């Protein structure tokens, strides 16, 4: 695919690229986090294009809803083939603007292609029309699932294609039109995606894309002609979306938000394997995953062994140029993110943490927003008043791991449950009894046994509790929030309707 980026610094609306004049809109520049002298843009954004995109989506919605499912899936199949064909270009784009190592960006593309298959073969089964027994033999009782209409997808930066398509694919398959507002930290990949939509031949207005920051996102969320908001990002932004739509209670909000996730290594676990899995969960994508492990709770019998294994393994992590095949961890997304990471580490030390020296800072590149993992050892679980101090329940979104020794399962469960978040949890133990206890007692949306907190399966529902989500899990269940059910009672011959107390009725309700 040959892309002239000079002509893509604008919005994709009604099946074409719309130019933005210098006086009409604003622009921003995206910096490559691994090479700060590499700038992407300027990327143009326009408030007026929000209204244009919504109007075009509204006009196309009735047509797309009436398009047979097989035909909608046919368009998506063409799009999947184009993504597969240009997978290396898309992976390079993700690495350039996010700083992910190439192996991880390529894995993201594979996961996207898998989502097409899972949506068609598994997810749509959850919204298939069905019939049940009616009040009597003459009445047919059915339920059919209808699309909401025009949906907005607000994309995150950490998975600019995978998590975006996790909303887009089921929304389009179910008959919705979609407007994408990508993260302003990931404009390039969305430009490529929009161009692939154009090449796939989707009818005009079915998919639109507008660039921009918080102001564009707010206008889309508040727009009265938008039927739903599909969001992946932080709790703080999810809360703002709730505020923006407070007077529109009929607007569907599917909010997949943050996490402050824990892993537990019990005394009967295989310590080297468990420690490696936890370290991977804490540092993959430079810790910029909502499922990243932030707390490591270790039984005191193996605490010193885990500390020793962590020091050894973390010191060997390959941190550096994400375009190199051997690199495991690239940079953080921005200098602001790096400063928040440093501040959080300093806060932890002030609260009693012992910083473990595991990487030589001089070994990491100085050309981008690189950091070394922060492994912080506490002597005990924090008291309730300390937990509320900010650090222990604050999503840092960076490679930060805090360790705590425990002796009782109840103490670990209480620590996990007092968090405002409830996304992912991993238990490392040879016996199922310990795992089942945590599974039963902890309020989370993902609970793994001898597996990392990261790496969720798209063949299962994915979502969190409390501040991590609003009970609309994505992945396998995404089609459920992309539709609404309509119940019908059908009587073909009105003369057979039962009479009750002189009134024609079916059931009193």
Positions marked active-site: 256, 290
Pull the structure tokens for residue 64: 């797309």
Largest CA distance in the chain: 89
Given strand 177-181, what is the order of strands in its sheet? 16-18, 11-13, 207-209, 177-181, 150-154, 228-232, 252-256
Q: How far apart are CA 297 and CA 276, in angstroms?
A: 14
Which letter does DSSP use for residue 32 in this model?
A: P
Q: How far apart are CA 485 and CA 86, in angstroms?
A: 37
| Burial class, 329, CB count within 10 angstroms (exposed 0-12 / middle 13-18 / buried 19+) | buried
Angle value at C-alpha 7, between 2 and 12, nearest 5 degrees: 95
Q: How far apart are CA 423 and CA 453, in angstroms?
A: 9
HEC string for 36-49: CCCEEEEEEECCHH
- Which 3 state secondary structure label does DSSP give 499? strand
Distance set, CA 237 to CA 268, 320, 474 (Å):
40, 30, 18
In sequence order, the β-bridge partners of residue 154 are: 181, 231
Q: For 360-502, where are the E strands, in sequence order?
A: 374-377, 400-406, 421-422, 424-428, 446-449, 461-462, 465-466, 474-475, 483-491, 499-500
Locus of tokens 């989707």: 202
Angle value at C-alpha 193, between 160 and 320, nearest 5 degrees: 40
Q: How far apart are CA 143 and CA 7, in angstroms?
A: 46
């Amino acid at each position: 695919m040959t892309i002239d980026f000079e002509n893509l610094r604008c919005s994709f609306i009604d099946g074409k690229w719309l130019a933005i004049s210098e006086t009409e809109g604003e622009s921003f520049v995206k910096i490559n986090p691994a090479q700060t002298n590499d700038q992407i843009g300027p990327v143009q954004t326009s408030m007026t294009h929000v209204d244009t995109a919504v109007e075009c989506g509204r006009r196309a919605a009735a047509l797309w809803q009436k398009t047979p499912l097989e035909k909608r899936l046919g368009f998506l199949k063409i799009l999947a083939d184009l993504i597969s064909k240009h997978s290396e270009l898309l992976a390079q784009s993700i690495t350039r603007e996010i700083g992910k190592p190439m192996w991880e960006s390529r894995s993201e593309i594979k996961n996207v292609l898998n989502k097409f298959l899972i949506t068609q073969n598994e997810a749509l089964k959850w919204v298939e029309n069905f019939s049940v027994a009616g009040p009597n033999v003459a009445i047919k009782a059915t339920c059919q699932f209808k699309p909401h209409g025009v949906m907005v997808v607000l994309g995150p930066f950490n998975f600019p294609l995978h998590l975006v398509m996790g909303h887009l694919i089921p929304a389009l398959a179910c008959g919705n039109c979609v407007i994408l507002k990508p993260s302003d930290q990931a404009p390039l990949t969305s430009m490529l995606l929009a161009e692939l939509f154009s090449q796939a031949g989707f009818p005009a207005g079915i998919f639109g894309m507008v660039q921009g920051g918080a102001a564009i996102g707010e206008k889309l969320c508040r727009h009265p002609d938008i039927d739903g908001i599909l969001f992946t990002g932080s709790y703080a932004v999810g809360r703002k979306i709730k505020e923006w739509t407070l007077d529109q209670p009929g607007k569907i909000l599917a909010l997949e938000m943050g996490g402050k996730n824990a892993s537990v290594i019990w005394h009967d676990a295989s310590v080297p394997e468990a420690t490696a899995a936890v370290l991977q969960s804490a540092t993959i994508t430079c810790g910029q995953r909502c499922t990243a492990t932030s707390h490591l709770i270790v039984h005191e019998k193996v605490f010193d062994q885990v500390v020793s294994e962590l020091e050894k393994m973390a010191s060997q992590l390959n941190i550096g140029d994400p375009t190199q095949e051997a690199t495991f961890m690239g940079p953080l997304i921005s200098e602001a993110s790096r400063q928040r990471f440093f501040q959080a580490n300093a806060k932890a030390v002030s609260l009693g943490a012992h910083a473990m020296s595991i990487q030589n800072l001089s070994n990491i590149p100085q050309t981008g927003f690189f950091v070394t993992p922060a492994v912080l050892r506490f002597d005990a679980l924090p008291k309730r008043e300390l937990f509320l101090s900010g650090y222990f329940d604050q999503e840092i979104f960076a490679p930060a791991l805090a360790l705590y020794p425990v002796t009782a399962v109840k103490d670990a469960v209480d620590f996990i449950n007092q968090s405002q978040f409830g996304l992912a949890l991993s238990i490392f133990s040879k016996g199922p009894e310990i795992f089942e206890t945590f599974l039963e007692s902890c309020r989370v949306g993902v609970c793994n046994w001898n597996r990392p907190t990261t790496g969720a399966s798209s063949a299962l529902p994915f979502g969190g509790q409390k501040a991590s989500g609003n009970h609309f899990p994505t992945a396998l269940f995404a089609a459920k929030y992309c539709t609404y059910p309509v119940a019908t009672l059908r009587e073909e011959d009105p003369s057979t309707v039962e009479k009750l107390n002189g009134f024609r009725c079916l059931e009193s309700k």
